[in-house]
Structure 1
Amino acid sequence: MQIAITGSSGFIGAALVRRAVEQGHEVVALVRETSRRDHIEGLVSRFVVGTHDEPHTRAALLEGTDVVVHNSFDWPAMKDFSRHVQGNLVGSLDFLKESGDRHFIYMSSIAVHHFMHDRWEGVIDESHPGRPGNDYGALKAAIEAHMWSANASTGQAVTAIRPCGVYGIDPRSNRSIGWPFIERIRRGEAFERKGGGKFVHVDDVAAATIAAVDNPAASPAVYNLVDCYARWCDWAHVIADRLGVELDIDDSSPTAPKNMFETSATVRDLGVSLDRGFDGINRHIDEMIALGA
């Protein structure tokens, strides 16, 4: 199938392009004028240059395509609420409308959740209502709501993918999660960062997203992509061990989260098991060190 992918040159986007081509699809890729694209050039059938909030750019991107994977997000616009709403929200909703009867797959986020009801007893499945805690999560939840409306009113196929913190090697390797930690620990600086989060590997995000293409079970549907929980100090201990560095590490953060996410639908419908666990983070750290972090 011909898949239109926005945000195709970025961290998640490049992984989406690779996975789509591996699965036999052709990719039409939206990139900004300033975007690097050499890492996906040999994989993309056609590039469209522009942004998803431009009507003429959306029209060029949709031409001849069967499926939309909407992954782009204007991060600098978050500093200006009106610009954020116009570009990230209105631009995306226009894109949804203009995609017509094409399957619309949206890269949402687990950030649609902030407040979580006690009656789910700490295991949050896809039936839990979205209660975001910031403008980013609210944007994702709003677009999901309009996707459900599109499906109910026109029958358009829609899928929302909700990754948590995504790790893996970024096309700009020094932007990979954990890379700055390695640099600091290599210098012997005390590690005092508290907290942690839920993590999932970028290749699993790409595998789940592309598995939704031409998949009747995946519409209308939403999928939580959460593999494991880890504290930042857990990352730091592994890095310090690998580098043979002794330093003070703050271990005071809770060893387990208050809530985790149910992911059986991702396994059942998309065939992605999300079971790398903390071993996946270990391997990621080794890969970053091998790359010179």
Structure 2
Amino acid sequence: MHFHPDRGHGRQLESEVTPRSLYASRRELLALGAASLLPNLAQAQGQGAKLAATKSSLAGALVMDKPTRYEDATRYNNFYEFGTDKSEPARNAHTLKTSPWSVVVEGECAKPGRFDLEALLKLSPMEERLYRLRCVEGWSMVIPWIGYSLAELIKKVEPNSRAKFVEFTTLADKAQMPELSNGALDWPYVEGLRMDEALHPLTLLAFGMYGEVLPKQNGAPLRLVVPWKYGFKSAKSIVKIRLVEKQPNSSWTKAAQREYGFYSNVNPQVDHPRWSQASERRIGEDGLFAKKRPTLMFNGYEAQVGQLYAGMDLRKNY
């Protein structure tokens, strides 16, 4: 999902949440532990390969909402590199090649380097975290992600005192992503976080969801999940991470600065210039006529992250 803004609103899927019995069976797989990753995991992307994880250590930070149905979460996506309509990424992302895959980490750090996927998978124990994800378009999902805090990777490369921000660059390959010619953005897709945001325990480097490796349309083989921000901040298919001194120029901020500010924290009191952000519709809840629910400040994570923005004008720094 670079869960994005104003194109391709699409049709909401009319389905119920995942049956408890089905999700419970997936959770049984997680109890196997992070060491039981399947062989050649990178080659199995998009084929339902299992990815083991332990229960999250973030006590009190995870939501109790029912998870969105797996079929909805994998068929209703924003991933403009594979199409601007919500249904297009699921149809088109089969062209994405996720093996071999590596991520370059560079910039203001003592130990820059290139990490292949297997090294990243082994860097820290995998956890399952049930996070809300809120799209700036006004819809939301609840997804059981699998990964570990991005802080584990950042600490590995030892940032120096000049590292104030973290910039993420995603894959941009016309041979694999035919929609790069659609002109929606200036590719490659670039996003950024302030360093304290990137180091916050909730900021997740995700490799899977629902007990399986990430489907290609959801950002395989690894993506960012920043649950208190609008979904387009959670970059997919990441190939480069740079620690930098100056604030990165994020793709959607560059394309429409008035509409998509750098911070992009979920704030129901600050409307998008063309629609309200005060309410949202949860994908999979009672079809198109479901009553919208009120949007929560910081997407419901205010107790965990509100202190990051103490003293800031959250209307000016939107």
TM-score band (shorter)? Answer: under 0.3
Point out the structure with max Rg over C-alpha.
1
> What is the TM-score when the length of structure 2 is the normalising length?
0.25
Between structures 1 and 2, the one with greater helix share: 1
> What is the TM-score when the length of structure 1 is the normalising length?
0.27
Q: Whose RCO is larger (CA < 8 A, sep 6+)?
A: 2
